[in-house]
Amino acid sequence: MHTDLWNHALALYARPGVETACLQLQALGGDVCLLLCATWLQRRAVAYSRDRAQALQALAESWQKEVVMPLRTLRQQWRDAAQQDAQLAVLREQLKGLELQAEKTLLQRLEACAQPWPSGAHGQEEDWLTRLAPDQARGHDALEQLRVAAAARQDAEDGA
């Protein structure tokens, strides 16, 4: 069953170890939304092309830089102070919700970009996950953990 990118991301992120792997990949400079999109493209058997990857990367980079990162930075800056200030803690939670909404919007934009690309290109697909991961994340255990979780989710979905 092919699902939209947001629901694919939610289901994958809920699998054991995926949240930790994603946070590790993010610490290595990875864009978690882009990596989740990579697993979705791989699941849909969309043939890789450099132009497609560049389109996704450009879209993600600008949204991360202009929208997600400012929200995340502010939320992280408030972490310690929010433990002592209940009102700030409420604002921080609201900011966390905005950050999640910004990531959901990015996933929707990535899906809209990739939706016209034909799926089912078995035998032609390449490893989107490795291609969209930053160099320092390639070969890292966290990337492999994300790959294994995505494959297990796909097997479960396919009834294997």
Element (H, E) at 128: helix 128-132
Domain count, the chain: 1
Q: What is the pLDDT along the chain (160 residues), one digit of tens a residue?
A: 558 999 999 999 999 999 999 999 999 999 999 999 999 999 999 999 999 999 999 999 999 999 999 999 999 999 999 999 999 999 999 999 999 999 999 999 999 999 999 988 765 556 899 999 999 998 899 999 999 999 988 877 776 5
Spatial separation of the C-alpha atoms in residues 15 and 126, rounded to whole Å: 23
DSSP labels, 98-114: HHHHHHHHHHHHHHHHH
Q: Which domain does 107 fall in, by range? A: 5-158
17 and 149 Cβ atoms separated by less than 8 Å? yes
